[in-house]
Chain A
């Protein structure tokens, strides 16, 4: 089946630890995105990638890092430098000027 997947669904992390969220797509889309969602604040763009081996900072990139070694994969690392990492993280993919398709999300909780 074609689609976009994220794993894990739930993730718990201790303060000071880095953690990596997975995002995979087989829709053959060039662009991939990471968003953060907090209650009542809508979606905020963390990073996006238009093509393999290239990515750009979004509105709230501080404390996060990404890589794009393959077209299908766009993992997000939440580093210890992110001061308030507890949130719902959404990955999306899409084509230029067209719709974006979202994964099911990962809920990260920092203990």
Chain B
């Protein structure tokens, strides 16, 4: 089946630093999604990408849909303590697909 490789698995950064994480796929996706999950809560959608090459921002977050349609990255600028959590990438393979394929997550820790 389809797999998403998300990296890094975890990262520790100093408050104020920028963060970058990415996902790669063995197959093409038509939609890339980035979620954040706080401990004990459900994932919350951060950014949705629908077109190859698309670059979308949401406040300090920026995500891009790779031109090969097999990868995506998420950047967080000027990190703050509330950025702590697990970030998941997810993708849809195409029209008619109701299922998402998820990465295993990047656990972000911010040191004040």
Contacts and interface: CB of A to CB of B under 8 A. Distances in A.
Nearest to B43: A102
A96 B104 contact: no
A97 B104 contact: no
B59 interface: no
Interface residues of B, number: 26
B76 interface: no
Name the prevailing secondary structure of the B interface residues: loop
29 contacts: A6-B42, A40-B104, A42-B88, A42-B103, A42-B105, A50-B98, A58-B99, A59-B1, A88-B40, A90-B43, A92-B42, A97-B30, A97-B31, A97-B92, A97-B94, A97-B96, A97-B97, A98-B92, A99-B33, A99-B48, A100-B33, A100-B90, A100-B100, A102-B35, A102-B42, A102-B43, A103-B42, A105-B41, A105-B42
Interface of B: 1, 30-31, 33, 35, 40-45, 48, 88, 90, 92, 94-100, 102-105
